Structure 1
């Protein structure tokens, strides 16, 4: 009975951590908004798959004890590469804003377009986001290792709670913006994409400006 309560606490903790992180605007959220206005509500689950793949790798590294072997130079490298990719991604989103805003969303939500783009977006905006990677390898690793003291089941339940929050948030975002053509005028649609692209680029520039300051990402 006590162990069940501990598992429920791990689930609640994972969900709380997930919600707290999701509510802070980041590259993945803005990318999800931009793509869902073209590809529909399925963007959310697809982006989540890519995000979960990256976090799974990070969790395995933490449990394998790899955190102690990662130095500041590697963290700085992640910041530089991540910053450049975010800027490029943002510029691409801005560049496609006018064209995408004039597309028929009912024709642009086919399986072919959904098969790889959103998933790869989830991977890119997670793996190359220094804030996410460094948080998990520092504060996040402490939580996971603490749960590991209770057993691997506690870790799994914690991760499950975290992913429930992530998936729920991404589905809510993509569902909210998937009907962009019906809810917004083409001009408003275009402005939203410009906004999301600009924020993506700003995130990238911030990562580049702080590449040698790990504490800024934690």
Structure 2
């Protein structure tokens, strides 16, 4: 066999058989046609059943969405009610504690109005009431600002007047006219103070 003849034979072998290609295409068209016929072969009753099933599923999903929406709305309402109660009754426990201080003050007041009131006992009762009030305030994070002989701090003190002093460094609190108070470290009222200045 010549070289040219061998090349021709090799070329023929690499080219797909035209008849085989035609058969494959025909089989593919035949399969598609059978699928179309099978789809088209569904009866109206079958189509009605499929439509009813799709509608039922859509209705079920709609019901689920409505239930979730209603649940979220109820949750929001409950949250709003609880938040309103929290704001309204936030001081409930503080007021309960404060009532005993008022009771003590009323008892002291009534004792002071009585004839022949004992001043020593009144003083003792007043001291006990002040201690009771201090304990209540401590429990709720209320602390006094009483900065006597401490450096002046504009964050917590308000200077009302200056006093020349040679025994203390300048800008030292020499007198507290009114105590300040903090609530959990946050200033509620500054202390009104007298501050030292260098004596001339």
TM over 0.5: no
Q: Flag the structure with larger Rg.
A: 2
Larger fraction in strand: 2
Larger fraction in helix: 1
Of structures 1 and 2, the one with the larger relative CO (CA 8 A, separation 6+) is 1
TM range (shorter): under 0.3
